[in-house]
Amino acid sequence: MIPGTSLFVKALKEEGVTTLFGYPGGYAIDIFDELYKQDDIEVILPRHEQALIHAADGYARSTGKTGVCLVTSGPGATNLVTGIATANYDSVPLVCFTGQVPTHLIGNDAFQEVDIIGITRSICKYGVTVRNREDLGRIIKEAFYIARTGKPGPVVVDLPKDVMLALGSTAYPKEVNIRSYKPNLKVHSGQLKKALDMLKSAKEPIFLAGGGVTIARANKEFTELAELTKVPVITTIMGRGAIPTNHPLFIGNIGMHGSYAANQAVSECDLLFSIGTRFNDRITGMLVEFAPKAKIIHIDIDSAAISKNVVVDVPIVADAKQAVEQMLKDAASCNTEVWLSRIQNWKQEHPLSMAANKGITPQKIIEKINTLFPKAIVVTDVGQHQMWTTQYLKMDEGKQLLTSGGLGTMGYGFPAAMGASIGNPNTPVICISGDGGFQMNIQEMATAVGQELPLILCVFNNSVLGMVRQWQTLFYDKRYASTCLRSRKSCSKTCKKPGENCPPYSPDFLKLAESYGAYGIRIEREEDIEASFLYALENKKAPTILEFMIDSEEIVLPMVQGGKPLSNMILEC
């Protein structure tokens, strides 16, 4: 007979957990006490639970393992909510353990009691409170299984204090059998044959690769498929990297900030063969105008993702990797020469680029990352910098991009980069953030310094909430409501641009880095970009903030206004 806490630790070991992101509290203290006795599970202590779960998320995305969170009840648990929703949208396998008040107090409004299962019901894959000690092992086993199988996602396991202290069996199940959960991975061969026949007879086909391809780690096989069929490829933000971005068949990103060629190709293609995407509104633009000439084939592991937004002609429920592997056996080359030449013309007509005479631009910074860090893990926050990164970052073999694509969570980047660095200690990890998003979890400087993580934290500082300001510029007649990060109470409401009376920095990121024991430099000239990265590379045991001063007027182009057709792109302004 052992207490629940001991079985918990045993379960983690059986599941291969070596790193856990935790924040203690009264109703989790016994579990932490048990973990304290272990040498083979490292407990990372971020400074805020939201950062904690983003770190576990970054760890999971970059390693392919399941991320594990352990927090206390009440506020500890509720601080996970944004991270759970983020992981849910992007299909990240996480198991979130939350402390809970003893079972006899549940429902009594006890100190630090919340119904975390109720709160997270609609944003996690599965959630359960362990009410009996004898169920503990089975539930943990099921939690890991559910999180990582089928369409991966976050699972919440609520652990009442008395259950964790109660004595019970030492047995941890070897196998899982959940009658209500049997994910289907196998491809329906008849449907796949139909799809391949359509591909063969198409004159202007396109592959659209979403996050499902990268999550299934089918990049290599997918690239082979594109080469075999000679079909050009468009990716979503989450699917970027499904094919190397320097590959001649790669056209670009689709959607609101996709490339002209990619959006034009979708609007003109006669067959859209999509794998692992939800067709969210940022991708499709105006639905009735989306791929208007195309038959649509859709492979997705989640049947509910098929025909949810875009009605498809051939639905196929399957794991992306298994489907692509099957197609590699049966697919044939298509005659796409004329089509590829059309696409090439679109690429040349409107290439992605920012004006070279503007000095320091996001494009130049990201291109320097391309040159200096061919094998890095790049993590972004959310905003303009995220879009610039997905436009200009080269994604060749060995490069990983972690970004909050579905929920668009500001504050994700820095802690996710920490998690990626902890999971990949020998790989350079670069976080690209804005001055807005970076400040949302800025307290994690303490964690990164404590963990001696050599993170390169690029802050694109334009002193504003850039993406919202961009919309205000384009669609709200430059009424910059609540988007200036240097504003003071005395500022004019109609101010259009930070002027001479503004504080130069808010905050001073260099002083902030120094106060945490990290490094920081400010880069204001194009010619200093490379030197700044080389400086960061020297700091092997602490993070370095590279604060790039960006023009607040800089906007992400091209752009499709929300709800407008993809063919209706704003190319310049």
Partner 1 sequence: MKKRWVSLFVENDIGVLAKISGLFSGKSYNLESLTVGTTEDKSISRMTIGLVSDDITFEQIKKQLNRLVEVIKVLDFTNTPTHMKEILFIKVKSCTKEEKTELFQIACVFKASVTDYGLDSVLLECVQTETKNDDLIRLLTGQFKQLEIVRGGSVAIESISMTDR
Q: Which stretch binds partner 1 (CB under 8 A): 173-181, 228-236, 432-440, 479-487?
A: 173-181
Is 111 one of the catalytic residues?
yes
Q: Which stretch binds partner 1 (CB under 8 A): 178-186, 356-364, 388-396, 564-572?
A: 178-186
d(CA 14, CA 242): 32
- Establish whether the linkage from the previous residue to 415 is cis, with ω within 30° of 0: no
To partner 1, the closest distance from the beta carbon of 127 in angstroms equals 8
Q: Between 146 and 283, whose beta carbon lies closer to partner 1?
A: 146
Edge to edge, the sheet with strand 94-100 lists: 42-44, 19-23, 67-71, 94-100, 154-160, 126-129
Q: Does residue 105 interact with partner 1 by CB under 8 A?
A: no
Q: Does residue 125 interact with partner 1 by CB under 8 A?
A: yes
Judged by DSSP in three states, 527 sits in helix
Per-residue x/- marks for partner 1, 297-326, CB under 8 A? -----xxx-xxx--x---------------
d(CA 134, CA 40): 25
The amino acid that residue 529 corresponds to is I
Burial of residue 435 (number of CB atoms within 10 Å: 0-12, 13-18, 19+): buried
Per-residue x/- marks for partner 1, 485-514, CB under 8 A? ------------------------------
Catalytic position from the list 164, 440, 467, 559: 467
Residue in this structure with the two tokens 């991009």, named with its chain if needed: 401
Closest alpha carbon to 293 in 259, 260, 270: 270
Q: How many residues does the chain have?
A: 573
Q: Between 123 and 196, whose beta carbon lies closer to partner 1?
A: 123
To partner 1, the closest distance from the beta carbon of 52 in angstroms equals 24
- Rounded to 10 degrees, the C-alpha dihedral 32/176/211/310 comes to -130
Q: Does residue 185 interact with partner 1 by CB under 8 A?
A: no
- Residue 273 pairs in a beta bridge with 207, 297
Per-residue exposure over 350-371, b if at least 16 CB sit within 10 Å of its own CB, e if not? bebebeeeeebbbbbbbebbbe
Is 322 one of the catalytic residues?
no
Q: Which stretch binds partner 1 (CB under 8 A): 12-20, 174-182, 191-199, 320-328?
A: 174-182
The amino acid that residue 75 corresponds to is P
- Establish whether the linkage from the previous residue to 507 is cis, with ω within 30° of 0: yes
Q: Does residue 288 interact with partner 1 by CB under 8 A?
A: no
The amino acid that residue 151 corresponds to is K
Per-residue x/- marks for partner 1, 406-445, CB under 8 A? ----------------------------------------
Catalytic position from the list 15, 49, 113, 268: 49
Catalytic position from the list 111, 193, 349, 375: 111
Catalytic position from the list 10, 14, 112, 367: 112
Count of residues engaged in binding partner 1, rule: CB under 8 A: 23
Q: Between 121 and 511, whose beta carbon lies closer to partner 1?
A: 121
d(CA 415, CA 403): 11
Distances from the Cα of 564 to the Cαs of 254, 256, 288, 323, 407, in angstroms? Answer: 14, 9, 10, 32, 21
Judged by DSSP in three states, 192 sits in helix
d(CA 437, CA 285): 26
Closest alpha carbon to 196 in 340, 328, 310: 328
Catalytic position from the list 125, 141, 151, 161: 161
Q: Does residue 179 interact with partner 1 by CB under 8 A?
A: yes
Q: Between 26 and 183, whose beta carbon lies closer to partner 1?
A: 183
Is 161 one of the catalytic residues?
yes
Per-residue x/- marks for partner 1, 135-164, CB under 8 A? -----------x----x-------------
Q: Which stretch binds partner 1 (CB under 8 A): 84-92, 117-125, 219-227, 256-264?
A: 117-125
Q: Which stretch binds partner 1 (CB under 8 A): 79-87, 126-134, 235-243, 358-366?
A: 126-134
Q: Which stretch binds partner 1 (CB under 8 A): 177-185, 281-289, 364-372, 377-385?
A: 177-185
To partner 1, the closest distance from the beta carbon of 120 in angstroms equals 11
Q: Between 32 and 290, whose beta carbon lies closer to partner 1?
A: 290
Q: Which stretch binds partner 1 (CB under 8 A): 23-31, 127-135, 269-277, 363-371?
A: 127-135
Distant-in-sequence, close-in-space partners of 502: CB < 8 Å, separation ≥ 6: 463, 486, 488
To partner 1, the closest distance from the beta carbon of 142 in angstroms equals 9
Q: What is the 3-state secondary structure (H, E, C) of 9-59?
A: HHHHHHCCCCEEEEECCCCCHHHHHHHHCCCCCEEECCCCHHHHHHHHHHH
Is 344 one of the catalytic residues?
no
Among positions 1, 122, 357, 572, the unique one binding partner 1 when judged by CB under 8 A: 122
Is 497 one of the catalytic residues?
no
Question: In this structure, are residues 273 and 251 in contact, taking their beta carbons and an 8 Å threshold?
Answer: no
Residue in this structure with the two tokens 């893990």, named with its chain if needed: 377
Q: Which residues are catalytic?
A: 49, 111-112, 161, 467
Residues that bind partner 1 (CB under 8 A): 117-118, 121-122, 125-129, 131, 146, 151, 178-181, 302-304, 306-308, 311
